[in-house]
Chain A
Amino acid sequence: MKSQGLQAPGSPGRRLTRHERRAQARVQAHQSAQQAKHRQSRIHFSTNIGLVITVLIVAAILAFAAFRTQATANSSGGLADPNALNAGGTLLQVGQKAPNFTLNDANGTSYSLAAQRGHPVLLEFFAVWCPVCHAEAPALARITRAYVPRGVRVWSILANPYGPDYDTSNRTDLTLATKSDLAWYASTFDVHHPQLVDPKFQTVNTYGINAYPGLYVVDSKGVISYASAGRKSYTSLSRELDRVLAASTRG
Chain B
Amino acid sequence: MVAVRTAWAPGLLLAARLVVGAIFLLAGIDKVLSPGGFADSVRAFHLLPPALVLPFAFVIPWIELLVAVYLITGYLCRFAAAGTIALLAMFIFALGTALVSGDTNHACGCFGTSGDANRVLALLEGGSTIGWWDVIRDLIMIGMTIPLVLYGAGSVSVDALLARRAGKQVVSGFAPTARSDG
State which of B40, B43, B63 has its C-beta within 8 Å of the C-beta of A171: B40
Main secondary structure of the interface of A (DSSP, over half): helix
Q: Does A43 contact B43, Cβ atoms closer than 8 Å? A: no
Q: Which chain A positions have C-beta within 8 A of B79?
A: 51, 54
Does B46 reach chain A (CB closer than 8 Å)?
yes
Does B89 reach chain A (CB closer than 8 Å)?
no
**Within residues 69 to 128 of chain A, which ones have a CB less than 8 A from any CB in chain B?**
69, 72, 82-89
Interface string of B156-176 (1 = CB under 8 A from A): 000000110011100000000
Stretch at the interface among B54-62, B119-127, B133-141: B54-62
**Most chain B CB neighbours (cut-off 10 Å) among A43, A69, A89, A174:** A69
Interface string of B72-89 (1 = CB under 8 A from A): 000110010000000000
Does B106 reach chain A (CB closer than 8 Å)?
yes
CA distance A57 to B69 in the complex (A): 13
Q: Does A65 contact B50, Cβ atoms closer than 8 Å? A: no
**Within residues 20 to 49 of chain B, which ones have a CB less than 8 A from any CB in chain A?**
33-40, 43-46
**Most chain B CB neighbours (cut-off 10 Å) among A39, A89, A170:** A170
Does B51 reach chain A (CB closer than 8 Å)?
yes
Number of A-B residue pairs having CB atoms within 8 Å of each other in the complex: 94
CA distance A69 to B34 in the complex (A): 14
Q: Which chain B positions have C-beta within 8 A of A184?
A: none
Q: Which chain B positions have C-beta within 8 A of A230?
A: none
Main secondary structure of the interface of B (DSSP, over half): helix
Within the complex, what minimum Cβ distance (angstroms) separates A158 from chain B?
16
Does A233 reach chain B (CB closer than 8 Å)?
no
State which of A82, A83, A88 has its C-beta within 8 Å of the C-beta of B46: A88
Q: Does B50 contact A171, Cβ atoms closer than 8 Å? A: no
CA distance A174 to B54 in the complex (A): 10
Q: Does A210 contact B106, Cβ atoms closer than 8 Å? A: yes
With A50-B76, A65-B58 known as contacts, the answer to whether A171 contacts B34 (CB < 8 A) is: yes
Q: Which chain B positions have C-beta within 8 A of A43?
A: 162-163, 166, 168
CA distance A85 to B36 in the complex (A): 12
Q: Does A174 contact B35, Cβ atoms closer than 8 Å? A: yes
Q: Does A57 contact B167, Cβ atoms closer than 8 Å? A: no
Does B18 reach chain A (CB closer than 8 Å)?
no
Does B12 reach chain A (CB closer than 8 Å)?
no
Q: Give B contacts to A, CB under 8 Å.
A: 33-40, 43-46, 50-51, 53-55, 58-59, 62-63, 66, 70, 75-76, 79, 103, 105-106, 113, 162-163, 166-168
> 24 pairs across A/B with beta carbons < 8 Å?
A35-B167, A39-B166, A43-B166, A43-B168, A46-B162, A51-B76, A51-B79, A57-B66, A58-B63, A58-B66, A65-B55, A65-B58, A68-B58, A83-B51, A83-B53, A83-B54, A84-B51, A85-B53, A88-B45, A88-B106, A171-B34, A174-B36, A210-B44, A210-B106
Q: Give A contacts to B, CB under 8 Å.
A: 35, 39-40, 42-43, 46-47, 50-51, 54, 57-58, 61-62, 64-66, 68-69, 72, 82-89, 162, 166, 170-174, 210
